[in-house]
Amino acid sequence: MSGARFDVDAWSVGIHGLDPDRLAHEESVFGLSNGHLGWRGNLDEGDPRGLAGSYLNGVFEEHPMPYAEDGYGYPEAGQSVINVQNGQIIRLLVDDEPFDIRHGTITRHVRRLDLRDGTLTREFDWTSPAGRRVTVRSTRLVSFTHRAVAAVRYEVEAIDDGAEITIVSEVLANEPLPIEHEDPRVQELLSEPLVTVTADAAGARGTLVHRTRRSALTVAVAMDHRTDDSDARASTEAGGDLARTTIRRRLGAGETLEVVKYVAHEWSPDLAPATLRDRAEAAADAAATDGWAQLLDDQRRTLDDYWRCADVTVEGEPRLQQAIRFALFQVFQAAARAELRSVPGKGLTGSGYEGHTFWDFEAFVLPVLTATAPHAAEQALRWRHSTLGHARDRAALLHLEGASFAWRTIDGRESSGYWPASTAAFHINADIAAAVLHYVRATGDTDFERDYGLELLAETARLWASLGHHDAKGAFHIDGVTGPDEYSAIMNDNVFTNLMAQLNLRGAAAAARRHPERARGLGIRAEEPGEWDAIADAMHIPYDEERGVHPQSAGYTELERWDFEATSPDQYLLHDHFPYFDLYRKQVLKQADVVLALHFAHEAFTHEQKARAFEYYEALTVRDSSLSASPQAVIAAELGHLDLAYDYLAEVATIDLDDVHGNTHEGLHIAALAGAWTAIVAGFGGMRDTADGFRFRPRLPSRLTRLGFGVRIHGETLRLDVTQTETTYRYSGSEPLGIRHFDQEVVLTGEDVTLPTPPADDAGPRPTQPRGREPRPATAAFGSPTDADG
């Protein structure tokens, strides 16, 4: 752990003081986004900084994919997110001295991310080297209502005898990113990816239009400024990579200059530069016309609506309360206005993973969005649908039927050049299908299922039918694939993959029967649903009778076990210290695989099988992936290992606030943050989505006295209030809703229903993990119980 220690507050994340060495971490934590536009939490003045970051969802640069040796089917071009024109920058001069945190004296410096207002505030007192004192206050937001707009209110107050104040507001292109690549062609392309198209300036407005060199995307960014101070003088110049507005005002002691900066961002692969320029300027003008107060009101109103359902309340652990709200805020803002774009693994908070989206979006993030912000989930699934053309092309390239979705991508085309631990992981296709099935069951959105979902389900079902084969006895096998665990590759009959493919096939068959006319329109043959069901019924799910456990893949339990005792703590992450060849042929897991299946395909296992599998794989899982702790928490809680589950929750909930993995500077772990919600709702809430509806088995760990959470079901909100002894269900709908509380059928009709929590069965001894890879204990994340109560 190398993270800053943030203030503990139920509805905000703040920090006092300023450490230049930790700026990159704080910039990720303080990042603002709406799913379309993202600003890292850089200092207003732009320097010093850890990593400059202004991102537009879907804007990337292409580059050659370097291979030591070419091979059939390798992607020819890679994709990397770029830093678009940066409109965050507001520089300050007091008399003729530029403000810089490294010069003069800062006596107070506070930054705070407000999770209800959706704003980042900053306030500091600075004495210039010449002795001039000022107080500066800034508030920034990325608007949820004006999709293209970010805005900053910047205030300077003169403390002493007054001073000449100069505010220099900029839009700057081609700011350098810390790009290091072994191929000099890629290095050159990504170091200055934007080519100037045009620059315009008028009054207090400046606009830059650029085009990416290879991907040919046009990006326009316009800034405009408003101030009520009639004595302030403003002028703007623009050209090349820079637009600059300068505002000057002489302030007397106690006087304040306030400027609001509106920055609008537009991009397109095909619109004319003049069109994008006009759109950006119009968006900035519309936001300025609404005004700062209206933007703030809209921001709060949007988040109030979100929190009414999404909020998770915790009693007994103040830092967990803060962490889970931070996680939910970040998941929401990563997708709120993505609108037919992907949600990258880092959201729009950093350039980690090159801005790509992966399988963990559908597997980890979409369940949270479906339960709390279903419109955003629907838009994200429609984005996947919009990439079906690329997925069909990829399947054809691989000599397969249907659609094979990209393992890592920005626009839907495959951007991974590593087959074993990435593009061989075909389970992504079933993960997408599972997200479709869950979304439709949770929302009742049959229009989406008919218009978009069925085609996604059918094309992925066709993929499985062509990818696998029947043996002489009729069993269906899927060979040569990689499951979620990336320390095992190119295996036969991966349990997770086969079970998820089974769900995919059955879901596609059922959806085709529900929408026969649409199925005919999609060219689904009359006999195909029956064929998919038959394949699902014949799906081979390996089981090791001798050990009484499901092997991760066929023969996995026969492999040599990794020598954990001979592995020192400084040799983790294993893939940084051992060749994949060694990892692939040993029993060692980077992340949950069968354990993930125990959750995602929970109806396929008995309780005894889950208990045995969890114990077996806990001893092999080193959690070199941020995606592991959440499913381990869920199954630990289900099996009654509540304190172990709580340790896993603590680890995943604080992954970015405490920089647990030491890489938050590259951007937040959006899927892991989503996993914190899953650990609470599916773990301690025991929520499962079953064929017969939703089921809950709530139980709390000893350190929590009360837990509350909400989920949207068919457009209405169901909230649970859980204590150590009972659970209250509160449903907002007027139509009856049937659920299960443990094994009891319950019909909710609008009245609160309170039911007792049965005592937990004896879970047995706490499972053990590899030496030195135990979960970070809750006491390390949250402090001792005494600290938490205080």
Q: Do the Cβ atoms of 157 and 254 come closer than 8 Å?
A: yes
For residues 687 and 678, what is the distance between their CA atoms, to the nearest angstrom?
A: 9
Give the burial class of 736: count Cβ atoms within 10 A of its Cβ; 0-12 exposed, 13-18 middle, 19 or more buried.
exposed
Residue 62 annotated among the catalytic residues of the structure: no
Q: Which of 61, 354, 414, 486 is catalytic?
A: 486
Residues ≥6 apart with Cβ < 8 Å to 568:
none
Instruction: For residues 289 and 615, give the distance between their C-alpha atoms in angstroms, rounded to a whole number.
Output: 61
CA distance 283 to 286: 5
d(CA 186, CA 366): 33
CA distance 721 to 313: 9
Q: Which residue has the tokens 């519309």?
A: 286
For residues 485-510, b (16+ Cβ closer than 10 Å) or e, as one string?
bbbbbebbbbbbbbbbbbbbbbbbbb
Residue with tokens 């997110």: 81
Neighbours of 562 (CB within 10 A): 21
Please list the residues that pair with 16 across neighbouring strands. Answer: 110
| 3-class secondary structure per residue, 93-157 | EECCEECCCCCCEEEEEEEEEECCCCEEEEEEEEECCCCCEEEEEEEEEECCCCCCEEEEEEEEE
Q: Residue 642: is the preceding peptide bond cis (ω within 30°)?
A: no
Distance (Å, whole) CA 287 – CA 294: 9
Name the 3-class secondary structure at 699: coil
Which residues are annotated as catalytic?
A: 486
